[in-house]
Amino acid sequence: MPNVPDTPVEPQSGLTLDDKTRPCGLPADEANGLFQPLNSLSNLALAVSGGADSLALLVLFSEWRQRTGWRGQAEVLTVDHGLRAESAEEVLAVQQHADERGLACSILHWHGPRPLRNIQAAARDARYRLMADRMRRTGAQALLVAHHLGDQAETFLDRLTRGSGISGLSAMAADEPNGPEGLRLIRPFLGIPRERLEATLVERGLHWASDPSNGDAKYKRTRLRRILELLEQEGLSAEKIAATAGRLRSAREAIDAAVEVAFRSGVEEHGAGPLRLSLAAYRDLSQEVRLRLLVRMIARVSGQRVRPRLTKLSALDQGLTDGRTARHTLSGALFETGENWLWCWKEPGRTPPETLASVCGEGIWDERYRYRARGDVEPGGMPAGLMLGPLCASPLQRGDVDWPEGWPKDAFACSPVFWTAEDHVFRHGASVDLTGGETGLEAVMDLVRLPFGHKSVSNYVDEGDGEADI
């Protein structure tokens, strides 16, 4: 998606539809194949800026919907970044295109301070954030974006300049389940050259908005686009780069599958939160798998997506495999090695998990646990002033805990505990076993560990400048 489209431009003069040197647009049967995966969805959003790529998405999707009788809901989302005076007029043009084709359209506005540097990245982040907020309100299942073959090649080159590893170089997926803001992104045009999308509009006599930054050499994307033109002269085309990215994605998926097997078969999870696995088994894994396994363990104990730098992640791996018993911290997780075990748990840090007061009904605690009052429990059946918080913030004394064997005591500092304002502490099967306190809460309150929600954590390892991702 272009960031800040300029005023509409006329199609290039001197080109006719029978000009054999000009790429042809997408015919109906080809468009049908590109949009066919959408048949399993019933509520979609389309990201449209008014540039050629996204306008082609709007037009071709609308034609496909009418041609095939797709009965789902669809809404066009367009963002007024407010960076130029013309932006308001441009989003209105998008709304008009949507109205003419019977598609709902929402204009979203970016408010708040603007950064002095990396304005394109900030605009992109704001765009996804605004669209994600709108989609949560409408229940949209996925966001269609118009990334095309050239975008794929430029992304590959951009990440190559950053020293990215296999995750970064595998570039974009046609169907990405965990994209920015947790969105599912669907990219129907990822194998289509930009020129064919423009030809699709020319064939219909449609004009589009141009992005003035596309020709500005101060932007990295513009410089990469010029490099790509030179590479094509040497035989390295966008198609070949995309094919390489596809093979790297297949290799990354194979590694991720190995990580999944290692996690499922080797990592033991205590109901109260910490993890452990055999230190010998960890050291027997390949380094690639070990690094990704560490990221997955951090995400699991913290309940958060994590983006550790490769340099720090590699240093952690080195510390865990050098044969010495020690403790290490990274991204909110604490690792400890013993003679035979590797443990991992959430680090309390300076700000331990919050304590919820007057717990009732249902909700999420610390992004790791779901609590829910039993439906058959009378309102008066719940303990008065019930609180839910971490063990380290509870009134429980260490001597009152029947510490699980084979686990460090500190591993349970962020484990969930129920108590009341009168310091009555309650047992619960999903927490540490308590020797003192009242009877168990299982009869009135369910507390369950949330399932692991990130399909491929390695996708989110940072690619920052000067440092490789994995």
Residue 428 has a pLDDT of 62
Residue 214 has a pLDDT of 62
Residue 377 has a pLDDT of 62
* More confident call, 220 vs 79: 79
**Residue 384 scores a pLDDT above 90:** no
Residue 350 has a pLDDT of 85
- Cβ pair 49, 5 in contact under 8 A: yes
Distance CA 344, CA 329 (A): 9
**Residue 172 scores a pLDDT above 70:** yes
Q: Which of 140, 158, 161 is nearest to 77 (CA)?
A: 140
Q: Beta-carbon neighbour count of residue 31 at 10 Å?
A: 23
Strands 73-80 vs 142-144: parallel, antiparallel or unpaired: unpaired
Weakest-pLDDT range from 49-63, 217-231, 257-271, 354-368? 217-231
Instruction: Grade residue 440 by pLDDT with cuts at 50, 70 and 90.
Output: low
Largest Cα span, the chain: 87
**DSSP state letter for 450:** P
**Residue 434 scores a pLDDT above 70:** no
pLDDT (tens digit, 9 = 90+) per residue, 396-425?
888 878 888 999 999 999 999 888 888 778
Q: Give the mean model confidence (pLDDT) for residues 365-385.
A: 78
Distance CA 209, CA 6 (A): 5
Half-sphere exposure of 90 (CA within 13 A, CB side): 31
Q: 416 in helix, strand or coil?
A: strand
Burial 315-331 (b: 16+ CB within 10 A, else e): ebbeebbeeeeeebebb
Element spanning 269, H or E: strand 268-269
Sign of CA dihedral 318, 320, 322, 327: positive
* More confident call, 172 vs 105: 105
Residue 389 has a pLDDT of 92
Token digits for 252? Answer: 């990354």
Q: Which of 267, 257, 3, 268 is nearest to 122 (CA)?
A: 3
Q: Give the mean model confidence (pLDDT) for residues 358-384.
A: 80
Amino acid occupying residue 335:
F
Residue 438 has a pLDDT of 52
**Residue 292 scores a pLDDT above 80:** yes
Instruction: Grade residue 435 by pLDDT with cuts at 50, 70 and 90.
Output: very low
Average pLDDT, the chain: 85
Residue 307 has a pLDDT of 80
Fold match, 8-248 / 269-349+455-460: no
Amino acid occupying residue 430:
A
CATH 3.40.50.620 applies to domain 8-248? yes
Residue 13 has a pLDDT of 36
**Residue 72 scores a pLDDT above 60:** yes
Weakest-pLDDT range from 16-20, 88-92, 188-192, 316-320? 16-20
Weakest-pLDDT range from 26-40, 423-437, 444-458? 423-437
Which residues partner with 434 through β-bridges?
401
* More confident call, 429 vs 83: 83
Residue 1 has a pLDDT of 39
Token digits for 420? Answer: 């009341």
* More confident call, 463 vs 373: 373
pLDDT (tens digit, 9 = 90+) per residue, 185-229?
999 999 999 999 999 999 999 988 876 666 677 778 789 889 988
pLDDT (tens digit, 9 = 90+) per residue, 11-41?
333 344 445 567 899 999 999 999 999 999 9
* DSSP output for 51-80: BHHHHHHHHHHHHHHHHHT--SEEEEEEEE
Q: Give the mean model confidence (pLDDT) for residues 364-368.
A: 92
Instruction: Grade residue 379 by pLDDT with cuts at 50, 70 and 90.
Output: low
**Residue 468 scores a pLDDT above 50:** no
The ranges assigned to domains in the chain are 8-248, 269-349+455-460, 362-449
| Domain range 269-349+455-460, CATH class | alpha beta
**Residue 436 scores a pLDDT above 50:** no
Residue 167 has a pLDDT of 82
Stated pTM of the model? 0.74
**Residue 4 scores a pLDDT above 60:** no
The percentage of the chain sitting over the pLDDT mark of 90, rounded to a whole number, equals: 55
Instruction: Grade residue 380 by pLDDT with cuts at 50, 70 and 90.
Output: low
